[in-house]
């Protein structure tokens, strides 16, 4: 964490030089604000609060000066206030899962607001969970094993946050909060979460064959009927798949559906969509 502290100090100094008096605050949020959850593969999310206009050049400079793990988000206080009123998940993270590096009174006042959990909050969590599950598969087949397990971890943790919020029990931010909720409400899923936390810290999958368990856990928490990735892989390779180009998982009528684009042995780009599994009684 000493390295992270020095990096944040350097970034803040750089932002001061770049933006001058327009800089109103620097706030880190997400796992970078939680020493117990931060790992070498964690993203570093930073909210940079400004007054007035910031040029495209300045935004690019902030985004690229400190490496690919650094994700600065440039906001005005008015932007945060709008997100807070909507209950956007980003606002919840910036307010509740954060640490202030520097800020003026305007930013401090905005950060004291308690955003509501709204339909938008739930939609943000639901969509992010499925997006991270898609990214986990894409990363794996691109040879990015560390990214793959990190996205799988985010998919499950976000699904936990969604389920807890749906049940009006508040939001989940830390790993311990997620594990405590699972151990109380979904004990059989706690071991999957622990496996992902361990694998994420190693930067690689501990047990690649457990990905189907992750898919089923995410589906269960989101209220979907699962379609396992192994069943999809079997089908597409029987169809002659050689290279996977893109993968997306969607909710279609309450069923988890995989959409895959692959190149076959003949060099053709082939779209694939997992089959819909109907209930045994024939309803739907």
Q: What is the pLDDT of residue 40?
A: 78
Q: Residue 259: what pLDDT? A: 95
Token pair listed for 77? 């206080």
Q: 125 in a domain, yes or no?
A: yes
What per-residue confidence (pLDDT) applies to 68?
84
Looking at the 3D structure of the chain, how many domains does it have?
A: 2
Last residue of a domain, one of 62, 80, 111: 111
**pLDDT in the model for residue 283:** 37
Residues 45/28, Cβ–Cβ less than 8 Å: yes
Tell me: do 88 and 150 sit in the same domain.
no
Q: Answer yes or no: do 18 and 141 share one domain.
A: no
In a domain, 284, yes or no: no
Residue 279, pLDDT score: 38
pTM (two decimals): 0.90
pLDDT at residue 51, as a whole number: 96
Statement to judge: residues 83 and 141 lie in one domain: no
Same domain, 75 and 205: no
Query: Which pLDDT does position 219 carry in this prediction?
Result: 97
The whole-angstrom separation of Cα 20 and Cα 137 is: 42
Range of the domain at 180: 119-273
Residue 276, pLDDT score: 52
Q: Is 238 a member of any domain?
A: yes
Q: Among residues 111, 142, 159, which one ends one of the domains?
A: 111
Q: Which of 66, 82, 111 is the last residue of a domain?
A: 111
Tell me the CATH number at 142.
1.20.120.330
Q: Which residues of the chain have pLDDT under 70?
A: 1, 275-284
Residue 255 lies in a domain: yes
The whole-angstrom separation of Cα 84 and Cα 51 is 18
Predicted local confidence at residue 1, as pLDDT: 66
Residues 59 and 87 in one domain: yes
Taking only the tens place, the pLDDT of each residue in 198-248 is 999 888 887 778 999 999 999 999 999 999 999 999 999 999 999 999 999
Report the C-alpha gap between 75 and 123 in whole angstroms: 22
Q: What is the CATH number of the domain that holds 66?
A: 3.30.460.10
Is 160 a domain residue?
yes
Distance, in Å, from the CA atom of 99 to the CA atom of 46, rounded to the nearest integer, reads: 10
Per the domain annotation, does 201 fall within a domain?
A: yes
Q: Within 10 A of 268 (CB to CB), how many other CB atoms are there?
A: 9
Same structural domain, 233 and 186: yes
The answer on 168 and 249 residing in a single domain is yes
Q: 88 and 154 share a domain?
A: no
In this structure, the answer to whether residues 154 and 201 fall within a common structural domain is yes
Q: Buried (b) or exposed (e) across 136-173, using 16+ Cβ within 10 A?
A: bbbbbeeeebbbbbbbbbbbbbbbbbbbbbeeeeebbb
What strands, in cross-sheet order, belong to the sheet with 98-103? 70-76, 44-50, 23-29, 98-103
For residue 278, being part of any structural domain is answered with no
* Model pLDDT, residue 277: 44
**Same domain (yes/no): 193, 55:** no
Same domain, 169 and 189: yes
∠ Cα 198 199 202 (to 5°): 95
The reply to whether 257 and 123 lie within a common domain is yes
């Amino acid at each position: 964490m000493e390295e992270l502290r020095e990096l944040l100090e350097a970034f803040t100094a750089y932002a001061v030089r770049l933006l001058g008096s327009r800089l109103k605050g620097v706030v880190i949020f997400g796992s970078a604000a939680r020493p117990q959850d931060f790992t070498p593969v964690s993203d570093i999310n930073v909210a940079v609060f400004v007054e007035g206009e910031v040029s495209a050049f300045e935004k690019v400079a902030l985004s690229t000066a400190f490496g690919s793990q650094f994700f600065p988000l440039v906001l005005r206080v008015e932007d945060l206030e709008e997100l807070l009123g909507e209950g956007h998940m980003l606002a919840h993270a910036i307010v509740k899962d954060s640490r202030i590096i520097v800020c003026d009174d305007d930013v401090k006042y905005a950060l004291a607001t308690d955003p509501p959990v709204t339909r938008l909050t739930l939609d943000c969590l639901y969509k992010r969970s499925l997006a991270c599950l898609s990214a986990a598969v894409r990363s794996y087949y691109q040879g990015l094993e560390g990214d793959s397990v990190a996205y799988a971890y985010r998919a499950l943790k976000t699904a936990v946050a969604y389920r807890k919020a749906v049940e009006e029990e508040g939001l989940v931010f830390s790993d311990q909060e997620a594990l405590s909720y699972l151990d109380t409400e979904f004990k059989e899923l706690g071991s999957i979460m622990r496996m992902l936390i361990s694998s994420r810290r190693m930067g690689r999958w501990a047990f690649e064959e457990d990905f189907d368990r992750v898919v089923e856990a995410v589906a269960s928490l989101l209220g979907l009927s699962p379609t396992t990735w192994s069943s999809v892989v079997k089908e597409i390779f029987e169809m002659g798949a050689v290279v996977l180009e893109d993968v997306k998982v969607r909710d279609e009528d309450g069923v988890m559906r995989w959409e895959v684009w692959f190149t076959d042995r003949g060099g053709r780009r082939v779209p694939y969509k997992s089959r819909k599994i109907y209930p045994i009684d024939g309803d739907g």
